[in-house]
Chain A
Amino acid sequence: MEAKPRVLGTTSKMIPLALPKGTDKLCELCQREARLQCTECRVTFYCDEEHQQADWVGIHERICQLLAPIRTPTLYSLQRAGRIETQLKKAELIEICRLVGQSKLSEGKHQEALPAAQFCLRCSIDLHGPSTVQMVPAYLLLAEANMGLGNLARVAELLSQAEWAVLKSPECGHAVRHRLHRSLGRLHTATGNLEAALLNFADDIYFASEEYSLDSTVTCGGYFLMADVFTKQGKMPIARSLYSQVAHTWHCHLTKLLKTHVQNGQNPNMLLESSYDKAQLVEVDEMLKTMLEFEQNDSRKDSTQVALVAHCLAMLWFLGGDSLKALGFGSTALQASQLIPNHDLTEPIQGLLQLVQNLQTESHPGSD
């Protein structure tokens, strides 16, 4: 049985020479001479099939209908009211692109996220101008996509433009600065410039603390990245201390979430709303697993830390819906918590394991 071939948009050939003088149509992705035209909206052009398919998967499927009114100049669109309407539509487009790009990035599909990020950037430049503070999120998105693909030169370029935009507008908020510094830090870590990376992560944590709070999970992300740099520098005690801070914060956060989840468990309607974002789940899981590995490879086994991190992972997967993993991590946590002198983690872990087992027996009533 053959799977039905996926329809990736329809195109029609066009002849560049047939266009009026001075109206060169450029490919959406590579800006070269275009030979194909999208039949749905008729305002998007591509140089070859490959680019058209990449764009369709990346973003065009979502925004095809919305492009036509923006790209066809009419008398109305040239007047003032029309211009304002166009701007609003562009802003909407930017938002959609950003969300699509973000979600693809969290799933790890960096190549697919490129068209969305690029379009977002181009649209933002159109709407706001090249170096304004509203551009920064678009720059950061594209930079992240390229970082995943390893194009560090391009990333450096984009981030320096973002930095320039931030420098020009000193009144931009702490959130923007913290994200910029985080991206810069990651770039420097990837290129090996560890001192600069530390400086940027320090700025990132400072701004994140100002914006969110000292013990929010966003600030924690910064601590985690910083610990990574210290590990590369070989300063293990600092890294260990940072990891324990991260574990502590996430532990509090997840315990709170678990509590509300259990309370809302009585009310099934609420359960749907409190579901943890899949993409974030993967990210946090990665982070916690790295920390667990670090602790287990460490010569001086710190059982408290192991128990904390394993407990966090167990809670995370319980909330994410994967009972097997939750059980696995839960048992690791239980083992480690027996070794701690004052045993104050054992109870919560056992409670969690009980919950997971209850859930399993609920879903498979016959298998107990």
Chain B
Amino acid sequence: MNATVTQPQTGPFLPEITTKSNKRRKSTQYSRMKQEKESLRTGSSQIISKGEISQFRNSPKQNICVELLREGYHRSFSELFFLLGADRDRRAAAEPGSNLRLQTPLDQQLDKLETMKRHLSRAEEAERTGSWMVVCDQRLLLGWYFSAPKDLWLSLHFYHSCTDREQGSHSRPATEARVCMAEAYLKLGELEQARQQAELCVKQAEDSSWVDSDGRPLRLRAREALWRIYSRLADAPLEAADYDQALKLLYKGYNMATESEDKQIEWEGAYRLGLTYQSAGDNDTAKQFFTTCMEISGTLQDADKLGKSYKAMAKSIESEGNIQDTLECLEKLADISRCNGLQHNLVDAFLCLGNIYHTTSQYTRACEYFLQGYEVACELGDVALLQKAQVLAANARAHSLIWKFSADVESASPAALRRLIAWKESGRHQGLYR
């Protein structure tokens, strides 16, 4: 007998006990169970792996550390662990309630941890194969990543680890790290450190045509950084009126500025030097520097800078006592400001001119200039400035009207008093009240 043939024949022999709908439900239930069993057997993706469980259960710090270790990057782990410990110590040492305490701890900032993990592991991989450039590059990237003010200490750590290495510390990325480090120290205010690093950087970048990541030549960037540092360093001696020290530093800065091929900072360097010489009383040298300033602003086509140079020059000439030249200078300043629409400078120029005429007792002309200044200030809408102009104008007008009689007022002799009363009654003083 054929077994395969008998099968279908036995089916309809027996009566159908279960209704059709029941049968269908039952079969689907069974087939569903079968499906689940199949998926359990084959689809291990439906069961969560141990790694995923630990991602849920453990802290982000633990997850990152364990991942680093598992892949064999134990030195990255040590560095990361050390940095997290350092962050903890810093926050513990800070006073309660201070800004430092209120920041989120580093071990809870997942994106920063991830970035550190990525770059540190790449650096360690490169270190094992001996490609020092890549190592320095990765660390430089990390230094940039932490450029926020509260993370500057982290940034400095990475820059240092880039530049203080045994091998590769004279490569391009390391030199760039050095200049970034100098800038970071400047931001923090540690000027001595900044100076050391910047000077080293200038030496390193000397004969190279290395370019930083923005495309700027490193030796120029280093010089600019050094100029900025010298400028800041000169602040302290200036306040203490130690002009020699300040001038020394500013000169060094000015040399750096000229070498950095950036006209803007060259102008600033010359300007500061001129101002310092002015405060020190050496007006001739100051004037030389201001002339240089004027030239540079000419090449730069910067009217604002030109205006500033003229003003400073005028002050110098005035301190020498040469009124005529001062007036010329100030007239030029007024012209420039007018042509270039620099209203603020124009007001300044007018007020200065007025002052000069006032001091030389030419009160009418002084008054004129003050009034002009007042009008411009009105246009500008600067209330403080226009009030100042008003006061000065009124002062000048008053002086212009009574200068004849000021001597009489002072002497207070009977004849003088009679003359004063006559003048009062004549009504010519009406001008005063206008």
Interface residues of A (CB under 8 A from B): 196, 198-199, 201-203, 205-206, 209, 214, 223, 226, 230, 235, 237-238, 241-242, 245
Given contacts A199-B50, A206-B62, A206-B65, contact A245 B75 (CB under 8 A): yes
Query: B78 near A214 (CB under 8 angstroms)?
Result: yes
Given contacts A209-B81, A214-B82, A237-B128, contact A202 B70 (CB under 8 A): yes
Q: Whose C-beta in chain A lies nearest to the C-beta of B62?
A: A206
Query: A245 near B72 (CB under 8 angstroms)?
Result: no
In the assembly, what is the distance between CA of A88 and CA of B77, in Å? Answer: 43
Q: Whose C-beta in chain A lies nearest to the C-beta of B79?
A: A214
In the assembly, what is the distance between CA of A226 and CA of B77, in Å? Answer: 14
In the assembly, what is the distance between CA of A209 and CA of B69, in Å? Answer: 12
Contact residues of B between 45 and 85, Cβ < 8 Å to A: 50-51, 62, 65-67, 69-70, 72, 74-75, 77-78, 81-82, 85
In the assembly, what is the distance between CA of A34 and CA of B77, in Å? Answer: 55
Min distance, Cβ A9 to any Cβ of chain B, angstroms: 47
Given contacts A202-B66, A226-B69, contact A241 B74 (CB under 8 A): yes
In the assembly, what is the distance between CA of A230 and CA of B66, in Å? Answer: 15
New A-B pairs, 7, CB < 8 Å, besides A199-B51, A237-B128:
A198-B69, A203-B66, A206-B62, A206-B66, A230-B72, A235-B72, A238-B72
Query: A199 near B66 (CB under 8 angstroms)?
Result: yes
7 shortest A-B CB distances, which residue pairs?
A202-B69, A238-B72, A202-B66, A202-B70, A206-B65, A237-B128, A198-B70
Query: For residue B81, which residues in chain A have a CB less than 8 angstroms away from its CB?
Result: 209, 214
Min distance, Cβ A248 to any Cβ of chain B, angstroms: 11
Is chain B's interface secondary structure helix, strand, loop, or mixed overall?
helix
Min distance, Cβ B135 to any Cβ of chain A, angstroms: 14
Min distance, Cβ A194 to any Cβ of chain B, angstroms: 11
In the assembly, what is the distance between CA of A191 and CA of B135, in Å? Answer: 37
Q: Can you give 6 contacting A-B residue pairs, CB < 8 Å?
A: A199-B66, A202-B67, A206-B62, A226-B69, A237-B128, A241-B128
How many residues of B sit at the interface, in one of the four size bands?
10 to 19
In the assembly, what is the distance between CA of A144 and CA of B85, in Å? Answer: 33
Query: B66 near A223 (CB under 8 angstroms)?
Result: no
Query: B69 near A201 (CB under 8 angstroms)?
Result: yes
Q: Whose C-beta in chain B lies nearest to the C-beta of A198?
A: B70
Query: B69 near A206 (CB under 8 angstroms)?
Result: yes
Query: B70 near A199 (CB under 8 angstroms)?
Result: yes
In the assembly, what is the distance between CA of A254 and CA of B390, in Å? Answer: 85
Q: Whose C-beta in chain A lies nearest to the C-beta of B85?
A: A214
Q: Whose C-beta in chain A lies nearest to the C-beta of B61?
A: A206
In the assembly, what is the distance between CA of A292 and CA of B200, in Å? Answer: 42
Min distance, Cβ B66 to any Cβ of chain A, angstroms: 4
Query: For residue A214, which residues in chain B have a CB less than 8 angstroms away from its CB?
Result: 78, 81-82, 85
Q: Whose C-beta in chain A lies nearest to the C-beta of B78?
A: A214
Query: For residue B62, which residues in chain A have a CB less than 8 angstroms away from its CB?
Result: 203, 206
In the assembly, what is the distance between CA of A235 and CA of B72, in Å? Answer: 9
Query: For residue A237, which residues in chain B have a CB less than 8 angstroms away from its CB?
Result: 128
Min distance, Cβ A14 to any Cβ of chain B, angstroms: 51
Min distance, Cβ A266 to any Cβ of chain B, angstroms: 37
Query: For residue B85, which residues in chain A have a CB less than 8 angstroms away from its CB?
Result: 214
In the assembly, what is the distance between CA of A198 and CA of B69, in Å? Answer: 8
Query: For residue A226, which residues in chain B have a CB less than 8 angstroms away from its CB?
Result: 69, 74
In the assembly, what is the distance between CA of A205 and CA of B75, in Å? Answer: 12
Contact residues of B between 21 and 62, Cβ < 8 Å to A: 50-51, 62
Query: A245 near B66 (CB under 8 angstroms)?
Result: no
Given contacts A202-B69, A206-B62, A206-B65, contact A223 B74 (CB under 8 A): yes
Query: For residue A245, which residues in chain B have a CB less than 8 angstroms away from its CB?
Result: 74-75, 78
Query: For residue B51, which residues in chain A have a CB less than 8 angstroms away from its CB?
Result: 199
Min distance, Cβ B70 to any Cβ of chain A, angstroms: 5
Q: Whose C-beta in chain B lies nearest to the C-beta of A219?
A: B78
Q: Whose C-beta in chain A lies nearest to the C-beta of B70?
A: A202
Given contacts A199-B50, A209-B81, contact A241 B69 (CB under 8 A): no
In the assembly, what is the distance between CA of A199 and CA of B53, in Å? Answer: 13
Q: Which one of A198, A202, A209 has the greatest number of beta carbons of chain B within 10 Å?
A: A202
Min distance, Cβ A200 to any Cβ of chain B, angstroms: 10
In the assembly, what is the distance between CA of A245 and CA of B78, in Å? Answer: 10
In the assembly, what is the distance between CA of A202 and CA of B71, in Å? Answer: 9
Min distance, Cβ B47 to any Cβ of chain A, angstroms: 16
Query: For residue B75, which residues in chain A have a CB less than 8 angstroms away from its CB?
Result: 241, 245
Query: For residue A223, which residues in chain B have a CB less than 8 angstroms away from its CB?
Result: 74
Query: For residue A203, which residues in chain B have a CB less than 8 angstroms away from its CB?
Result: 62, 66
Query: For residue B66, which residues in chain A have a CB less than 8 angstroms away from its CB?
Result: 199, 202-203, 206
Query: For residue A201, which residues in chain B have a CB less than 8 angstroms away from its CB?
Result: 69
In the assembly, what is the distance between CA of A214 and CA of B51, in Å? Answer: 24
Q: Whose C-beta in chain B lies nearest to the C-beta of A206?
A: B65
Query: For residue A205, which residues in chain B have a CB less than 8 angstroms away from its CB?
Result: 69, 74, 77
Q: Whose C-beta in chain B lies nearest to the C-beta of A238?
A: B72
Query: For residue B65, which residues in chain A have a CB less than 8 angstroms away from its CB?
Result: 202, 206
In the assembly, what is the distance between CA of A196 and CA of B85, in Å? Answer: 28
In the assembly, what is the distance between CA of A214 and CA of B65, in Å? Answer: 12
Query: For residue A198, which residues in chain B have a CB less than 8 angstroms away from its CB?
Result: 69-70
Min distance, Cβ A202 to any Cβ of chain B, angstroms: 4
In the assembly, what is the distance between CA of A223 and CA of B69, in Å? Answer: 9
